[in-house]
Amino acid sequence: MMIPIEQHPLRPFLPEGARLLMLGSFPPPKHRWSFDFFYPNFSNQMWQVFGLVFFDDADRLLDKDTHTFKQSDIQALLTERGVAIYDTACAVRRLSGNASDKDLEIVEKTDIPALLAQIPHCHDIVCTGQKSFSVLTDDFGVPIPAMGNYNEFILAGRPMRLWRMPSSSRAFPMQLEEKAAYYREMMKTIGIL
């Protein structure tokens, strides 16, 4: 049986003046979503990381009563701080029906230079998983940096830095506060924090 192709369900979030582009791989299956935005699985720790980095409060962007996230607060924070978000795949096949990167077959990659053309102040990209790194390393020849560091490269004539941060998946073996510390240092270096 042929595995169906899934098209990306979200538009890129590209606030004017964005200085950082966060690239994941692809959203989880819709039944795992708690809201209609990036990192929608309530068990994913990305918005807790952002809560710690920007508010010193892991729960600041969570709505525990409804088991979801505060989407308007998240989007306002990303817009204010200049953080764009999308994924490295526009179309995938889920080989096992789950959200695991290892079980995603990328059918169509995102046009990263086209995304960057829409956010001309951006000179930093952070990948939030191994699958997203593989696209950048394969397509643009950027070596994967050590955790918490970046490698410099040129993309479409623009100097860029590719950052490596810990995965926000709960399965990634690192404490939430330690993950947030990595993101905090990156945000400080970029000038977002």
What pTM did the predictor assign? 0.94
Are 162 and 123 within 8 A, CB to CB?
no
Query: Looking at the domain assignment, is residue 1 inside a domain?
Result: no
Structural domain includes residue 123: yes
Q: Are 86 and 21 in contact (CB under 8 A)?
A: yes
CATH assignment at residue 27: 3.40.470.10
Residues of the domain holding 97: 6-190
pLDDT tens for the chain, 193 residues long, are 688 899 999 999 999 999 999 999 999 988 899 999 999 999 999 999 999 999 999 999 999 889 999 999 999 999 999 999 999 999 998 888 666 777 788 999 999 999 999 999 999 999 987 778 888 888 888 988 999 999 999 988 899 999 999 989 888 889 999 999 999 999 999 999 9
Residue 133 lies in a domain: yes
For residue 103, tell me if it sits in a domain.
yes
**Residue 170, domain member (yes or no):** yes
User: Is 164 a member of any domain?
Assistant: yes
Count structural domains, the chain: 1
